[in-house]
A and B are shown apart, each in its own frame.
Chain A
């Protein structure tokens, strides 16, 4: 488990990027938190910079949309899913289990 940030640091509709060998980002949308690999599976863009709406984040470079729950893209140009990770909120702090990758289609 790694500490992402406090709940107050991540308002609705925003994302925070956690640097690391494989950057992971935490998204806050419609009251829920999601953690995804930050790098778009299409080319080289950071999903944390994307547009968050409902259960989706739209890549800031070529607009592929990823489902925050599964990491799967729902339109081109991305074809492959990004990995998702469990998120835990405890005592006002958001944690991500970067060890437990949830592989999805």
Chain B
């Protein structure tokens, strides 16, 4: 393999490049990215709070980047992947023997908010800078749509910054699909405990305001005043540029358990990849930092080998910081959840999920040590 092109230069793309070099690839390495590599998790946490700056969240220093000995095409998008190679927005076409698809995901937006000022999403550094500026202007009431992790973190940051915040969640219990109903409800309590109003079980119907948002209309007819809205309604995989490539795409690039597409010379990693999880037997898109950091090691080994020789068989893991507390989750939630340490009332506990006698998942608030121990036990339950 003489040339490898990596498309997407955030966490998964950068790690893929680092793995290529670490695993002995000494050919031409071409990096194509709309943005330089920076770390997204701090955007909704310490960056909004002003504790870290854009410089602090770079994923690599200049010497790390130099060490890759790569050819960089930054600030430009890949628009097409075809027989002749990958074609960029500036017209350049790069032919390669191997391709890494690492284009991540894009924040979902709300149609009703189109052309309405004061409605934000949060995915990129640019989004975070814009939101930070809007918050500095002192909005009198902030509404966050969606009580998932991003929504909850934004609500938390806005509250810690002193704003009045309302969170609107369409589902009856926040985070239930991820953490299960019981732990989702516990997380939902964090909002009220920190003087943030949480409205659940009602979808947003639209917005009021002329040119600029003035309020959020709920499906039950209520209206919540808002001069700043943040929509945390999920992300969709960035796959438009693959139309016509022949790659199978269905809510992400479909790859096998080794992150390899139907073409052994094309791998997909990170938020854009929907891989067959050997532990769960289903296809999943991980959408979490740890997977984006770990999949490239496996995927690159397979790319260099020319076929799937190793699999990505790790339990999902993510963390979240809300209202000064640290949440950690690994594995899969089931209905059978038991508190094994601490208590939910104090919001310091470890919960273990089971299927029969088998440990399937672990969730903890402010208990990193016992969480880590149980997460280890989970890894042994394969």
| B50 in the interface (beta carbon within 8 A) | no
Interface contact B372-A45, CB-CB below 8 Å: no
Within 8 A of A (CB), among B49-63: 61
Binds B, one of A31-39, A55-63, A85-93: A55-63
A14: nearest chain-B partner, CB-CB? B369
| B368 in the interface (beta carbon within 8 A) | yes
| B180 in the interface (beta carbon within 8 A) | no
Question: A46, A48, A51, A60: which has the most chain B beta carbons within 10 Å?
Answer: A60
| A73 in the interface (beta carbon within 8 A) | no
Interface contact B369-A49, CB-CB below 8 Å: yes
Interface contact B368-A60, CB-CB below 8 Å: yes
| B222 in the interface (beta carbon within 8 A) | no
Interface contact A76-B369, CB-CB below 8 Å: no
| A54 in the interface (beta carbon within 8 A) | no
**CA A93 to CA B326, docked complex, whole Å:** 33
| B376 in the interface (beta carbon within 8 A) | yes
| A71 in the interface (beta carbon within 8 A) | no
CB < 8 Å A-B pair total: 30
**A51 in complex: contacting residue of B18, B289, B326, B376, CB < 8 Å:** B376
Residues of A within 8 A of B289 (CB): 62
| B200 in the interface (beta carbon within 8 A) | no
Please count how many residues in chain B sit with their CB below 8 Å of the partner chain's CB atoms. Answer: 17
**CA A62 to CA B319, docked complex, whole Å:** 9
Category for how many chain A residues contact B: 10 to 19
| A23 in the interface (beta carbon within 8 A) | no
**CA A76 to CA B371, docked complex, whole Å:** 21
Residues of A within 8 A of B18 (CB): 76
Question: B42, B368, B373, B376: which has the most chain A beta carbons within 10 Å?
Answer: B368
Interface contact B372-A50, CB-CB below 8 Å: yes
Instruction: Given A62-B289, A76-B293, A77-B293, check contact A49 B368 (CB 8 Å).
Output: yes
| B93 in the interface (beta carbon within 8 A) | no
Residues of B within 8 A of A62 (CB): 289-290, 293
Q: Helix, strand, loop or mixed for chain A's interface?
A: loop
A52: nearest chain-B partner, CB-CB? B372
**CA A61 to CA B372, docked complex, whole Å:** 9
Smallest distance from the beta carbon of A98 to chain B beta carbons, Å?
A: 22
Interface contact A45-B368, CB-CB below 8 Å: yes
Instruction: Given A45-B368, A49-B369, A76-B293, check contact A61 B319 (CB 8 Å).
Output: yes
**CA A43 to CA B39, docked complex, whole Å:** 11
**CA A43 to CA B45, docked complex, whole Å:** 12
Residues of A within 8 A of B61 (CB): 79
**B368 in complex: contacting residue of A43, A61, A77, CB < 8 Å:** A61
A60: nearest chain-B partner, CB-CB? B368
**CA A46 to CA B372, docked complex, whole Å:** 12
Interface contact A46-B368, CB-CB below 8 Å: yes
A17-47 vs B, CB cutoff 8 Å, 1 = contact: the mask equals: 0000000000000000000000000010110
Q: Which 10 A-B pairs have the closest CB atoms?
A: A49-B368, A60-B368, A49-B369, A60-B372, A51-B372, A61-B319, A51-B376, A50-B372, A49-B372, A45-B368
B contact set with A: CB distance below 8 Å? 15, 18, 42, 61, 64, 289-290, 293, 319, 326, 328, 368-369, 371-373, 376
A contact set with B: CB distance below 8 Å? 43, 45-46, 48-51, 58, 60-63, 76-77, 79
* Known contacts A61-B319, A76-B18, A79-B61, then 11 further A-B pairs from the complex at CB < 8 Å, ordered by chain A residue: A45-B368, A48-B369, A49-B368, A60-B328, A60-B368, A60-B369, A60-B372, A62-B293, A63-B290, A76-B293, A79-B64
14 contacts between A and B (CB under 8 A): A46-B368, A49-B368, A49-B372, A50-B372, A60-B368, A60-B369, A60-B371, A60-B372, A61-B326, A61-B368, A62-B293, A63-B290, A77-B293, A79-B61
